[in-house]
Structure 1
Amino acid sequence: MMKTLTQVLKSKRAQAEPIIVPYIMAGDGGLETLGETISFLEKNGVSAIEIGVPFSDPVADGPVIQKAGLRALNAEVSLRKIIKTLQTITSNVPLVLMTYFNPVFQIGIEAFIDELKNTTVGGLIIPDLPYEHQALLTPYLEKADIALVPLISLTSSKERIEKIVNKAEGFIYAVTVNGTTGTRHTFDENVGPYLQQIKSQTDIPVLAGFGVSEVKHVEQFMQVCDGVIIGSKIVQLLHERKEAELAKFLTSIREVKVRA
């Protein structure tokens, strides 16, 4: 059975709309603001929301998100507390939880998935869980409406990409840089062909992430994939309480034309 996250994003694509997924750090500014932030982003037309879990050793995160994670950790935010908060929040767009594997292991994989069933989380990203070890989670996800979102890097071989996309759910997180998250102005010339290669092998929506921070980036990537994930810019604007600027930015990228 197709997971809800996949259905929602495919519907966006069918309507020729760019798929826009903002990333936020849960607990940056206090967990009591999480529901308000989700509601704000939902009202501004996003397709789904990626919710980051603060972690002491975030190997995939750049400086902006690292600082947000530290602020949340200093406020004693944890995966358990985030899940309890999410159980009290209703969202009309799918939520995608991004966490490293250690906090999940500490809770217990089965207990973790069971707790998520009582939330509107429809996707799960674990950047330090290799594709070869996904079987640690997949048995518990079979009866849950939660997609395990795969990441594909620029250095992935054609054979590895083929293996990953064949079992993909939700969307494919196509990492557009070799390194950590963070705003940037340009991308390697190989990114376009790389995204086209992934998209040619799957019907699952392909989203470009890492470094996406300007309207021109969205315009560039919407020629070769289905949408974008935007993290550092969103996190920074929320931290600086520049909601009006963020709303204007989200409006601009929603208006980007999708390649026919």
Structure 2
Amino acid sequence: MGPVTVARLDARFAALKTEGRAGLVTFVTSGDPDPATSQAILDGLPAAGADVIELGMPFTDPMADGPAIQAASLRALKAGQTVVKTLDMVRAFRAKDADTPIVLMGYYNPIYSYGRDRFLADAVEAGVDGLIVVDLPPEEDAELCLPAMDAGLAFIRLATPTTDEKRLPVVLANTSGFVYYVSIAGVTGTATPDPERVAQAVAGIKAHTRLPVAVGFGVKTPEQAAAFARTADAVVVGSALVAAVANTLDDDGRATDATTHAVIDLVKDLANGIQSARSGAAA
């Protein structure tokens, strides 16, 4: 297997460690609520304080996602979003930003339908840095994980509260970029995680890997982000940003003048929360 090149991700987490702070990983659904608004949101995230961007690939059956992200996927699909258009969004972003890592997050079905090898080649060419594919377990690494790493993409794996000591090494075996710790049992955005339990879990994962650990699922406020930033290398916020889109749409589900601003303003607040927790969390 060839070397996996995760230069942008590695560089970003190294910079965060030098700064002595956790990173902010923002999740938005590509194409939600429409292509132009979605591109404007994506392009505005780094200046607002996003250190890493997860870009959701909409899918009709997002089984790991809660109501907010499910609704975002359906809005995006209704607006005509496709894998091709998602990759085009990354290309447009890369024309302005060569440094901020972008990770595509989603499910295997759209990738399989697109054609695995074609998808990997096009993703690398577009400027994608990694993948999170939530419905492919480590037992299926030959299907996508190993080819993705061969192509130069990080393959980021989820660890959960139900991942025990025996399972963890299996989960981590071919993981690269960072480890995404799911802080609650269940789907995205539906419960509030307990900072003490999360801290213990992060310490447990770090005993098995040198990769950075990002904590997500259920983080909605700057205060929550700050709490997790004290122990994790990064904090992931998704459902709250997607809800900010939904809350600003008009009665016909279309974007308003407030839509992009609402997401960007929330990212700024979250980034400030994480900055306030500057305690050498990433050291």
Q: Contact (CA 8 Å) 1:149, 1:170: kept in 2 or not? A: yes
Shift of 1:6: 2.7
For 1:127-206, list aligned pairs within 5 A. 127-182=134-189, 184-187=191-194, 190-206=197-213
Instruction: Say yes or no: does 1:227 pair with 2:234.
Output: yes
Instruction: Give the alignment's TM-score, normalised by structure 2.
Output: 0.84
Q: Contact (CA 8 Å) 2:184, 2:191: kept in 1 or not? A: no
Shift of 1:122: 0.3
Shift of 1:148: 0.6
Q: Which amino acid aligns with 1:33?
A: T
Moved more, 59-68 or 33-42: 33-42
Q: Which amino acid aligns with 1:3?
A: V
- Deviations 1:37-72 (CA, angstroms, capped at 9, x unpaired): 122111012111000011111111111111111111
Structure 1 residue runs without a partner (length 5+): none
Corresponding position of 2:35: 31
CA distance in 2, matches of 1:248, 1:220: 14
Instruction: Give the alignment's TM-score, normalised by structure 1.
Output: 0.91
Moved more, 7-16 or 51-60: 7-16
Instruction: Say yes or no: does 1:65 pair with 2:45.
Output: no
Q: Which amino acid aligns with 1:72?
A: A
CA distance in 2, matches of 1:189, 1:21: 21
Q: Which amino acid aligns with 1:248?
A: D
For 1:69-80, list aligned pairs within 5 A. 69-80=73-84
Q: Secondary structure at the match of 1:162?
A: helix
Q: Secondary structure at the match of 1:158?
A: coil
Q: 1:10 to 1:167 in 2, by over 3 A?
A: farther
Corresponding position of 2:254: none
Instruction: Say yes or no: does 1:3 pair with 2:6.
Output: yes
Moved more, 168-177 or 29-38: 29-38
Q: 1:140 to 1:246 in 2, by over 3 A?
A: closer
Query: Please, which of 18, 34, 40 is the counterpart of residue 22 of structure 2?
Result: 18
Q: Contact (CA 8 Å) 1:6, 1:169: kept in 2 or not? A: no
Corresponding position of 2:273: 252
CA distance in 1, matches of 2:68, 2:182: 17
CA distance in 2, matches of 1:156, 1:224: 19
Q: Contact (CA 8 Å) 1:170, 1:205: kept in 2 or not? A: yes
Number of corresponding residues: 260
Q: Contact (CA 8 Å) 1:141, 1:147: kept in 2 or not? A: yes
Shift of 1:194: 1.6
Q: 1:218 to 1:200 in 2, by over 3 A?
A: farther
Q: Which amino acid aligns with 1:50?
A: E
Query: Please, which of 71, 79, 101 is the counterpart of residue 94 of structure 1?
Result: 101
Amino-acid identity (%): 30
Moved more, 124-133 or 38-47: 38-47
- What's the Cα RMSD here? 2.0
Query: Please, which of 93, 110, 115 is the counterpart of residue 103 of structure 1?
Result: 110
- Deviations 1:95-126 (CA, angstroms, capped at 9, x unpaired): 01002000111011101101101112101000
Query: Please, which of 111, 114, 139 is the counterpart of residue 121 of structure 2?
Result: 114
Q: 1:170 to 1:245 in 2, by over 3 A?
A: closer
